[in-house]
Every structure is written in C-alpha cells, then in structure tokens.
Amino acid sequence: MTNEQIGMEEEPEIIYIPDDEGNEEEFEVIMKFEVDDSDAKYMMVVPVEAADEETDEVYAFRYEEDGDDLKLYMIEDDEEWSIVEETFNTLVEQLDGSQDND
C-alpha cells in the first residue's frame, strides 16, 4: 500500500507572507484550486499559530508560480471573491462527504 492509500498525512505546505510592517508570518496552505472559467489559481491559507485551534481565519489569494517564486495577489473584486468562496465551500463539502465514507 502507498501512503495515500492508507491515509497517512503528508507534510503541510508552509509559506511566508510579509505583513504591513514587513515581518514574515507563517501560513499553512490548506487548499489549492483552479476556477474552471479562467486560468487563475487560488490558494487558501491559515496562520500556523491558529492551525491547531478551531478558527474561521482562512485567507484566500490568487497566485502565480514563476519557477521557484510564488506571487500572491489579494482578491479585491467582489465577483472574483464570490467565485472563490463558492468553489472553496463546494470543495470542503466534497472533502467532508468523502471522509464520512472512509
């Protein structure tokens, strides 16, 4: 059996995002996805300090990969935010449903 088949957890993906003062904060990537109607890629992240706690603090970014560089963009358009939020909620529901069947 492979690790995926027996449900072993893989290492979390950690990224560092500078705050307004330039201090880098640690975030865990909890989900990456693409929206069907565009080439845009999105990631959902949570602060590492809050990852062990039940929290509603989830941040969404549009991102681009350029080799080893990762460029994050704030989602400021309400229509784009609605699409990202709907996609995220749908994926979470699918994950919850598949975990109930295990």
For the segment 84-102, the average pLDDT, to the nearest whole number, is 82
For residues 46-64, average pLDDT:
80
Q: Is 83 among the domain residues?
A: yes
**Does a structural domain hold residue 61?**
yes
Tokens 């749908």 locate to 90
Looking at every residue in the chain, the average pLDDT score rounds to: 83
The verdict on residue 5 lying in a domain is: no
- Inside any domain, residue 67: yes
Question: How much of the chain, in percent, has pLDDT values that exceed 70?
Answer: 80
Q: Is residue 1 part of a domain?
A: no
Domain that holds residue 59: 13-100
Please give the distance of CA 32 from its chain centroid, rounded to a whole number: 5
Neighbours of 52 (CB within 10 A): 8
Check pLDDT > 60 for residue 51: no
Q: Is residue 34 part of a domain?
A: yes
Interatomic CA distance for residues 5 and 63, integer angstroms = 30
Tally of structural domains, the chain: 1
Joined tokens for residue 16: 């560092």
Question: Which residue would you say has higher pLDDT here, 82 or 2?
Answer: 82
Closest CA to 58 of 24, 35, 92, 34: 92
Please indicate, yes or no, if residue 38 is contained in any of the structural domains: yes
The answer to whether position 53 is within a domain reads yes
Q: Which of these, 24, 21, 16, 11, lies nearest to 70 by C-alpha position? A: 16
